[in-house]
């Protein structure tokens, strides 16, 4: 986490060992908050949304979970379009809008560094960590704000603001589901 120092004497720099360290207050300078999570099954004959929620266990531990139940398995051709939006008088595209063949990407994760960054966020907490075919439901289980904070602060920092991370899930070149995770970085 980024740390910022503040002092009682108006922000003057405090040097280590000068006897003024007792006046130094450390403030956490970065945090992720989930603000909303929306999920929609566009093709109800192909998939259903079983789980799509945010849970606040206490003031510091919050997480999101998703389960998409596949009704026609196996799924052998998957495309994903994911985009990041930042709120500027409405949500506007911000940095990333990537469409990729998920089956090919999962065979070679180094083929797209931008997609690898986002995939690394949920690789350990989902069952989407293998290449096609998918013979099971799609799950992302308990993606916590702490888990997301690590990626947002340590790996690729983002500026403060409100964001939406949107994913269009496609199978056989037909849009099947849309998920939108709303976040606030402070």
Per-residue pLDDT, 2: 33
Q: In angstroms, rounded to a whole number, what is the distance separating the alpha carbons of residues 169 and 42?
A: 9
Q: Hey, what are 99's tokens? A: 């469409």
- The edge-to-edge listing of strands for the beta sheet with 62-70 is 47-56, 62-70, 138-144
Residue position matching structure tokens 């994913």: 167
Q: Kindly report, residue by residue over 38-85, the tens digit of the pLDDT.
A: 999 999 999 999 999 999 998 888 899 999 999 999 999 999 999 999
31-185 fold = Ganglioside M2 Activator Protein; Chain: A, (2.70.220)
- Residue 171 is predicted with a pLDDT of 94
Contact 18, 7 (CB under 8 A): no
Note the pTM of the prediction, 2 decimals: 0.77
**Which residues partner with 28 through β-bridges?**
3
- Residue ranges, the chain, pLDDT below 50: 1-29
Domain ranges of the chain: 1-30, 31-185
Query: pLDDT value at position 30?
Result: 56
């Amino acid at each position: 986490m980024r740390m910022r120092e503040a002092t009682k004497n108006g922000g003057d720099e405090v040097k280590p060992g000068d006897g003024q360290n007792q006046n130094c207050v450390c403030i956490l300078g970065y945090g992720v908050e989930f603000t909303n999570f929306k999920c929609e099954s566009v093709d109800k004959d192909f998939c259903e949304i079983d789980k799509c929620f945010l849970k606040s266990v206490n003031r510091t531990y919050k997480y999101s979970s998703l389960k998409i139940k596949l009704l026609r398995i196996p799924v052998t051709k998957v495309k994903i379009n994911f985009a990041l939006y930042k709120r500027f008088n409405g949500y506007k595209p911000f940095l990333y809008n990537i469409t990729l063949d998920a089956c090919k990407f999962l065979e070679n994760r180094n083929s797209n560094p931008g997609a690898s960054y986002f995939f690394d966020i949920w690789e350990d907490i989902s069952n989407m960590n293998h290449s096609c075919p998918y013979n099971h439901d799609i799950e992302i289980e308990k993606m916590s704000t702490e888990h997301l904070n690590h990626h947002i602060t340590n790996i690729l920092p983002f500026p403060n603001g409100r964001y939406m991370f949107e994913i269009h899930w496609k199978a056989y070149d037909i849009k099947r589901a849309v998920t939108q995770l709303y976040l606030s970085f402070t």
